[in-house]
Amino acid sequence: MANISVDRRRALLSVTDKSGLVDLAAVLRDHGYELVASGGTAGHLREAGFEVTGVSDMTGYPEIFGGRVKTLHPVIHGGILGPTHDDFAATVELGIAPIDVVVVNLYRFEEALASGAGDTAAVEKIDIGGPTLLRAAAKNFDRVTVVPDPAHYPELLEELKVGDGATSRDFRRRMAAVTFRRCERYNEAIAGWLENVTGTRDGVALRYGENPHMGAVLRLPGGELAAVGLEQHGGKELSYNNIVDLVAAVKLVADFDEPCCGVIKHTNPCGFGLGAGVSGLEAALKCDPVSAFGGVFAFNGEIDLETAEVLAGRFLEIIVAPSFTPEAAARLGKKKKVRVLTVDMGRFLRSTAGRSRAWGSLQLWQEEDAGFPELEEWKVAAGAEPDAATRRALEMAWKVCKHGKSNAIVVTDAEATLGMGFGQMSRVDSVELAVNKAGVQGLDLQGSVAASDGFFPFPDGVEKLAAAGVRAVIAPGGSIRDDEVAAAAGELGLTFVLTGRRHFNH
């Protein structure tokens, strides 16, 4: 084993992608780091004139099995996982000294698959040591800096410059998150390839996907609904579409502090009402009781027996609430096919924060659309300042509108939805749909309010709302014709509010 010093900084370099490596190594060397590298990385740096300590020199073991095993050794992982430099006083006699920077990128497994590699070639591109090094370094971000990709070298170089060879804890923690996410994607690519070969998918098998001919699985931490704050108390097993609608329903009612009920059908709200128990339920049903047939009913408060009796008299798929009285639970338990669930709101929201979509290895992720700070800062672009009742109605319409597919229009009074139009290619079509829905139920829109999830590109939308009896409209704004639309709203006697922030649910 090489002579070691507990006090000296060390950087472990083991990379597939050599781009930027020489420049990074030069900065590390100039800041006093001992460069430790394996295999091809060590050779590349030596050819560039660097003095390099080989991994084998540190461990006292040669690389074996054609390089398959080289960094999987206590000297390396002890050097990464040791909590502080002082703790290494107890391990120096074992040849274990601190490693402070870990720069590793993984074998190109995804590229091998994309190029049509066969089983043997694909297996050879499954990295074992790399993810192990990355995860160890990321776990110990309090002391160790980990960088999993050359794209982050510029940030590392700036940190080393500012910190005179050291990095900030904020940077180390952020790189740890980047690293675990990179390992997750890498593992997902490998698991997906193996599952495609075997024709199986890990997770809880569902009856089918969006359509009966499509297989589907549910993946949960530990394989249990409880891990995300849900518990099923009765009814049939959940289907793929059930779960999609269940998530949408809980997130709708979670946006309200007041007791409320929301009804979801095909991920869109088809009814919403403020009020505890049966009052909120009845308010939610007056908007579109036909669409509520077979829907998901969500509450943000306890369900009592009176509410359970009304629910039991309807055809529905799911009932979800934070709790049920014993009498309500017993009544709904007689509905053998209805899925009855309790939800721990806090745990559910933490577990489902963020939105993602995936098409094979192509994945999208975005932050959760959380909060409504714009409701404290809106601008009245036309008409009178809304009174307390109008403000309450506008705020409710705005929050419900967030949960429908765009283009979204929601018309409400101060307590419940009256008409909704979602998912149309034209915003004015959504306006017409919302007005027509209210008309079918014989609901009077005189004095109602409306929310739009996007700007009105032309005045025609607000003109149709005004003609239906709407007296106030809330929208994000952002159109080059905002002034023209606001002027039209003012001439029609509408209060027209612009928030400057949109909640567009694509």
Catalytic residues: 139, 266
Q: Could you give the strand order of the β-sheet that contains 417-421, starting from the edge strand earlier in sequence?
A: 379-382, 495-498, 472-475, 449-452, 409-412, 417-421
Can you tell me the distance from the alpha carbon of 28 to that of 20, in angstroms, rounded to the nearest whole number?
13
Task: Spell out where 52-130 has E strands.
Answer: 53-54, 101-104
Radius of gyration over alpha carbons of the chain, in Å?
29
How far from 448 is each of 204, 357, 394, 435, 451, CA to CA, in Å? Answer: 45, 36, 9, 11, 11
Residue type, 73: H
Of 242, 246, 243, 244, residue with least CA distance to 254: 246
Helices within 140-273 (DSSP H only): 153-162, 169-198, 240-254
Of 127, 125, 124, residue with least CA distance to 148: 127
290, burial (CB in 10 Å: exposed 0-12, middle 13-18, buried 19+):
exposed
Give backbone dihedrals phi and psi of 399, rounded to 5 degrees, phi first: -70, -40
Can you tell me the distance from the alpha carbon of 125 to that of 451, in angstroms, rounded to the nearest whole number?
52
Q: Are 221 and 204 in contact (CB under 8 A)?
A: no
Residue type, 35: L
Q: Are 82 and 104 in contact (CB under 8 A)?
A: no
Of 289, 321, 317, residue with least CA distance to 303: 321
Can you tell me the distance from the alpha carbon of 49 to that of 56, in angstroms, rounded to the nearest whole number?
19
